[in-house]
Structure 1
Amino acid sequence: MNNNKLSILFLLQKVKLNKQGKCPIKCRITFHQDRKEFSTGLFVNPKQWDSRLQKAKPPNQENSFINTQLGLIKNEINQAFLFLQVNEENFDVGDIYLQYKGDVSIRTKTILELFKEHNDRLEKLVGKEYSIATLWKFKQARDLVKGFITFSFTKADYQFKDLDLKFVQDYEFYLKTEKSLALATVNKMIQRFRKVVKIAISQGIIDRDPFVGYKVKRVKKEIVYLTTEELKKLEMYQFKAERLQTVADMFIFCCYTGLAYNEMTNLEKSHIVKGFDGNEWINMKRLKTQQTLSIPLLTKSKFIIEKYNNAHEVKVLPSFSNQKFNAYLKEIADIVGIEKRLTHHLARRTFATTVLLFNDVPMEIVSELLGHSKITITQEHYAKVVNKKVSEQMNKLNSKLK
Structure 2
Amino acid sequence: MGTTRTFSIHFWLNIAKRNGDSAPIYARVTVDGKRAEISLQRQTSVTYWDTKAKKTTSRTPEGKALNTYLDQVYAKLLQCHKQLSAEFELVTAKSIKARFVGHDERHKTLLELVAYHNQNMKGVLKPGTLKNYYTTENYIRRFLVREKKTNDIYLKHLKYSFIIDFEQYLRKGPSLQNSNPLNNNGVMKHLERLRKLMNLAMDLEWLEKNPFTRYKLKFKRYKKEFLSQEELKLFQEADIEDKGYGIVRDIFVFSCYTGLSYTDVRLLDKSNIVVGIDGERWIFTQREKNEQPVKIPLLEVAKQILEKYEDHPHLNQGKLLPVYSNQKTNAYLKEITALLGISKNLTFHSARHTFATTVTLSNGVPIETVSKMLGHTKISTTQVYARVLEEKISSDMSGLRRALSFSNNTRERGIINL
TM over 0.5, yes or no? yes
C-alpha contact (below 8 Å) 1:291/1:371 kept by paired residues: yes
Residue number in structure 1 paired with 2:32: 73
- Report the alpha carbon displacement of residue 112 of structure 1 after superposing the two structures with TM: 0.9
Q: 1:375 aligns with which of 359, 373, 379?
A: 379
Structure 2 residues not aligned, in runs of 5+ = 9-29, 40-71, 96-102, 175-180, 409-418
Mapped partners of 2:3, 2:231: distance in 1: 81
Mapped partners of 1:330, 1:105: distance in 2: 53
- Report the alpha carbon displacement of residue 84 of structure 1 after superposing the two structures with TM: 9.7
- Report the alpha carbon displacement of residue 341 of structure 1 after superposing the two structures with TM: 2.4
Bigger Cα displacement from structure 2, 234-243 vs 130-139: 234-243
Residue number in structure 1 paired with 2:342: 338
- Aligned ranges 1:93-242 → 2 under 5 Å: 93=84, 97=89, 100=92, 102-103=94-95, 105-123=104-122, 125=123, 129-179=124-174, 180-242=181-243
- CA gap of 1:323–1:96, structure 2 versus 1, over 3 A, is same
Residues 108-146 of structure 1 show CA distances to partners (whole Å, capped at 9, x for unaligned) of 1111111111111222x1xxx432211111111111112
- CA gap of 1:307–1:164, structure 2 versus 1, over 3 A, is same
State the 4+ residue runs in structure 1 displaced beyond 6 angstroms.
Answer: 7-10, 77-81, 392-399
C-alpha contact (below 8 Å) 1:201/1:207 kept by paired residues: yes
C-alpha contact (below 8 Å) 1:262/1:287 kept by paired residues: yes
Equivalenced residue count is: 332
Mapped partners of 2:194, 2:132: distance in 1: 11
Mapped partners of 2:306, 2:37: distance in 1: 75
Mapped partners of 1:84, 1:200: distance in 2: 29
Residue number in structure 1 paired with 2:321: 317
C-alpha contact (below 8 Å) 1:225/1:350 kept by paired residues: yes
Mapped partners of 1:101, 1:290: distance in 2: 49
- CA gap of 1:319–1:75, structure 2 versus 1, over 3 A, is closer
C-alpha contact (below 8 Å) 2:31/2:92 kept by paired residues: no
Residue number in structure 2 paired with 1:384: 387
Letter matched to residue 217 of structure 2: V
C-alpha contact (below 8 Å) 2:261/2:352 kept by paired residues: yes
Letter matched to residue 107 of structure 1: R
- CA gap of 1:386–1:234, structure 2 versus 1, over 3 A, is closer
Residues 65-124 of structure 1 show CA distances to partners (whole Å, capped at 9, x for unaligned) of xxxxxx7438869989959938x99x933579557363552111111111111111222x
1:85 and 2:44 equivalent? no
- Aligned ranges 1:268-279 → 2 under 5 Å: 268-279=269-280
Q: 3-state DSSP class of the match of 1:153? A: coil
C-alpha contact (below 8 Å) 2:248/2:333 kept by paired residues: yes
C-alpha contact (below 8 Å) 1:160/1:206 kept by paired residues: yes
Residue number in structure 2 paired with 1:307: 308
Letter matched to residue 108 of structure 2: K
1:290 and 2:291 equivalent? yes
Residues 221-276 of structure 1 show CA distances to partners (whole Å, capped at 9, x for unaligned) of 11111111100111122222333222211111111112222222221111112223
- CA gap of 1:82–1:285, structure 2 versus 1, over 3 A, is farther
- CA gap of 1:73–1:28, structure 2 versus 1, over 3 A, is closer
Mapped partners of 2:114, 2:325: distance in 1: 32
Q: 3-state DSSP class of the match of 2:121? A: helix
Mapped partners of 2:378, 2:320: distance in 1: 29
- CA gap of 1:109–1:83, structure 2 versus 1, over 3 A, is farther
- Report the alpha carbon displacement of residue 397 of structure 1 after superposing the two structures with TM: 12
Residues 263-300 of structure 1 show CA distances to partners (whole Å, capped at 9, x for unaligned) of 22221111112223333222222222222222221111
Q: 3-state DSSP class of the match of 2:227? A: coil
C-alpha contact (below 8 Å) 1:285/1:292 kept by paired residues: yes
- CA gap of 1:190–1:362, structure 2 versus 1, over 3 A, is farther
Q: 3-state DSSP class of the match of 1:102? A: helix
- CA gap of 1:217–1:84, structure 2 versus 1, over 3 A, is farther
Give the % identical residues: 36
- Report the alpha carbon displacement of residue 305 of structure 1 after superposing the two structures with TM: 0.7
Mapped partners of 2:216, 2:397: distance in 1: 36
Structure 1 residues not aligned, in runs of 5+ = 1-6, 11-26, 30-70
Letter matched to residue 143 of structure 2: F
Mapped partners of 1:121, 1:84: distance in 2: 37
Higher relative contact order (CA closer than 8 Å, sequence separation 6+): 1
- CA gap of 1:97–1:145, structure 2 versus 1, over 3 A, is same
Mapped partners of 2:126, 2:182: distance in 1: 23
C-alpha contact (below 8 Å) 1:131/1:290 kept by paired residues: no
- Report the alpha carbon displacement of residue 9 of structure 1 after superposing the two structures with TM: 6.4
Mapped partners of 1:235, 1:332: distance in 2: 12
- CA gap of 1:316–1:75, structure 2 versus 1, over 3 A, is closer
Residue number in structure 1 paired with 2:12: none
Give the superposed CA RMSD. Answer: 3.7
- CA gap of 1:108–1:234, structure 2 versus 1, over 3 A, is same
- CA gap of 1:297–1:101, structure 2 versus 1, over 3 A, is farther
- Aligned ranges 1:28-67 → 2 under 5 Å: none
C-alpha contact (below 8 Å) 1:266/1:315 kept by paired residues: yes
